[in-house]
């Protein structure tokens, strides 16, 4: 069956409800505050913490990044972020030993967090234009509150369109998998 016919069949079977009954993906959804996005408390470490400590915490908590604050707590200003990409490019790719390597040498500095009052549109814009998979959310004084991931945004959208997304059949040639990728 050609892909176009398959798409038409999916539309007929799964999207038969009347047009006015369907949720709309409109700018109102994007104007909602960041607080509507699912998130967890961030991992926050100090700049002098080792890269190994950060990587172990990321692995233990299944996270893709660590936020770095002046004193390693959420009570002081954000000074950097350390991500899976930093592990690959600044440690593994350079053949460096993470055991004695302080985060201050491998973290991304001058990271700009979004203010807690920002909207979903802002986090999407920031991720898209900056190429970021993780965006810190900060108070007006720069203290980190949480970190949002691409996964958080995807989960938010799936929660708003469960019937349209979760009920799709597998695409031709795609096998179902339950194994997670990465951290």
> Domain 28-165 belongs to what architecture?
Roll (3.10)
Mean pLDDT of 6-23: 52
Helices (H), the chain: 3-14, 27-30, 51-60, 84-86, 103-106, 120-130, 150-160, 162-166
Confidence of residue 22 (pLDDT cuts 50, 70, 90): very low
Q: Is the separation of the CB atoms in 54 and 66 below 8 Å? A: yes
pLDDT digit string (tens) for 24-54? Answer: 566 788 899 999 998 888 999 999 999 999 9
pTM of the model: 0.77
The C-alpha atoms of residue 82 and residue 112 are separated, in whole angstroms, by 13
The predicted-structure confidence for 72-105, as pLDDT tens digits, reads as follows 999 999 999 999 999 999 999 999 999 889 999 9
How do beta strands 134-138 and 114-115 pair?
A: parallel
Q: Which two tokens stand for residue 147?
A: 């970190």
Burial class (CB in 10 A: 0-12, 13-18, 19+), 179: exposed
Q: What is the dihedral of CA 46, 48, 53, 58, to 10 degrees?
A: 40
């Amino acid at each position: 069956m050609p892909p176009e016919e398959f798409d038409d069949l999916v539309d007929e079977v799964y999207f038969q409800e009347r047009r006015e009954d369907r949720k709309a993906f409109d700018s109102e959804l994007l104007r909602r505050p960041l607080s509507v996005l699912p998130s967890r408390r961030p991992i926050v470490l100090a700049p002098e913490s080792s890269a190994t400590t950060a990587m172990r915490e990321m692995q233990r908590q299944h996270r893709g990044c660590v936020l770095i604050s002046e004193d390693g707590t959420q009570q002081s200003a954000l000074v950097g972020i350390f991500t899976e990409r930093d592990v690959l490019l600044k440690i593994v790719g350079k053949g460096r030993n993470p055991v004695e390597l302080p985060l201050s040498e491998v973290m991304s500095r001058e990271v700009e967090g979004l203010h807690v009052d920002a909207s979903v549109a802002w986090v999407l814009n920031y991720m898209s234009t900056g190429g970021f998979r993780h965006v810190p959310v900060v108070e007006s004084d720069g203290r980190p509150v949480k970190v949002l991931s691409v996964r958080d945004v995807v989960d938010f959208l799936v929660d708003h369109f469960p019937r349209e997304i979760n009920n799709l059949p597998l695409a031709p040639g795609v096998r179902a998998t339950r194994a997670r990728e990465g951290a």
